[in-house]
Structure 1
Amino acid sequence: MRSVFRKGEPTIVGESSNSADANENVDACGDLFKAAKAGNVPKIRELLDANPEDVDNRCKACRNVTPVIVAAVSGQQRAVEELCNRGANVELRDIDGYTIIKLALDAGQRDIAEYLVCRYPDMTITDPRLPKGALWLEKEFWKMSNNISDKSSKPPKNVLDYLLTGDEKRYKPIKDRNVSEIYWEHILLRYIGDVPCDIRRNYSDELKMAFVGTFDRLLYKHCGIKESARLLNCVLPTTAYDVYGTHVASEQGWVTERWRYNDEKTKITVPDGIDTFLINPQEGKIVVMLINYRVYKDGVFLDNPDHCRLNRPCERV
């Protein structure tokens, strides 16, 4: 799959933009983005000497990418190194929640992805196409499995196996999966950070979703789940969730999970995540979701934070 740069009222939100491409036109993003794409290190130095705070600028015209992401997908390693030397935040994600590692790999820039892994040994690597990402995903899988006492609710090993290939063509066919496989594929794809693949494979076109806590929303269809993922990515800096309690009722087609989150670096926590899913195994899709989570920063509850709100109101239905 190609990457994409990209209160209380029923809402449908807009679709994400086009696929990531080294030929992306970044003219609307400004001189720093153009220099990053071209690998023009002297120009990058000139611009950041004058305005060092621009190193993590985002381009809304190109799916909220940063200069270092543009340099990475364009195969400009010297530009990546210079931007990193200037303090670029390599943990910032694009509009779909894609990491710089995934975007670089999708663009065929494995050397740059491996350079970033080596340069930032403390960065959480979730992409199973890299050895460190595969080891991380396996570790998280067994941690989740060990946290669940009910054997029938544990994650199926075959789901981990096909996701570790990193090749969607080798994933189990959508309509051949049972309730447990659908749910756990959703969870593991979120851990990996591939929200668009999760949405396409695991959510019904007629999805209905409600969630409360830090955000209060009613959302519908694929564009609604994209908005819910955008909000989650807005407040949680990584995908290192801790799913510690899950019950899968296969015959009735529903799943309830408990999860929490704790980021020591940013002091962001979620103590009370609980999600419920209604799954149609014949369709191979999640059809209803009920979600609760409350996000805290330094112990202070984040209530619908301003920086996560859309600039324009969503269209109502």
Structure 2
Amino acid sequence: MLTARCCATKIDSDLSKASRKGNLPAVASILAKGWADVNCRAGGGKTPVMLAAYGGHRDVVELLMSKGANVSLVDVVGNNLLHNACLGGDMKTVKFVLALNVVDIDARNSWLQRAVDLARFWRYPLMVDLLMSRGTK
């Protein structure tokens, strides 16, 4: 259960919004000031790196990770970074997250869905094939 308030400050909210939109210059500027919490929570308990992954913004995901984003966190329904990348449907972002080797490919959310289950549900057959080739059960 999440106990942190969603985007406790305006700068945290700005970071979440910029991450969701894939605005790399804005994310970089906000992080450079050092006031934002790179792991702040937005709606649904999503962190900026989850929002960027969901939006298919691989470059923002990479920047946030380089600035200490915790990729082991999950949102309120238990979706991890890979779940969010699959929900977004961007193959490049999914490949990037997989290449990092930082999340359990078979992790299940609160509804017992794995990332491959989400890709299958949203009809991303190439993504399903990729996840299956990487050893998902």
Q: TM-score, normalised by structure 2?
A: 0.67
For the aligned residue pairs, the C-alpha RMSD in angstroms reads 2.1
1:86 partner letter: K
State the partner residue of 1:102: 83
Partners of 2:94 and 2:135 lie apart in 1 by 11
State the partner residue of 1:123: 103
Give the aligned length. Answer: 105
State the partner residue of 2:93: 112
Task: Give 1:48 deviation, angstroms.
Answer: 1.3
2:82 partner letter: I
Greater strand fraction, Structure 1 or Structure 2: 1
Greater helix fraction, Structure 1 or Structure 2: 2
* Distance 1:87-1:78 versus aligned 2 partners, 3 A rule: same
State the partner residue of 1:41: 24
Q: Which is higher, the Rg of structure 1 or of structure 2?
A: 1
Partners of 1:78 and 1:48 lie apart in 2 by 14
State the partner residue of 1:171: none
1:99 partner letter: N
Equivalence map 1:1-317=2 (5 Å): 30-51=13-34, 54-59=37-42, 62-119=43-100, 121-126=101-106, 127-128=115-116, 129=128, 130=131, 131-134=133-136, 137=137
Partners of 1:86 and 1:52 lie apart in 2 by 12
Runs of 4+ in 1 over 6 A off after TM superposition: none
* Distance 1:49-1:125 versus aligned 2 partners, 3 A rule: same
Partners of 2:45 and 2:102 lie apart in 1 by 24
* Distance 1:122-1:64 versus aligned 2 partners, 3 A rule: closer
1:124 partner letter: D
* Distance 1:50-1:133 versus aligned 2 partners, 3 A rule: farther
* Distance 1:122-1:55 versus aligned 2 partners, 3 A rule: closer
Task: Give 1:132 deviation, angstroms.
Answer: 2.4
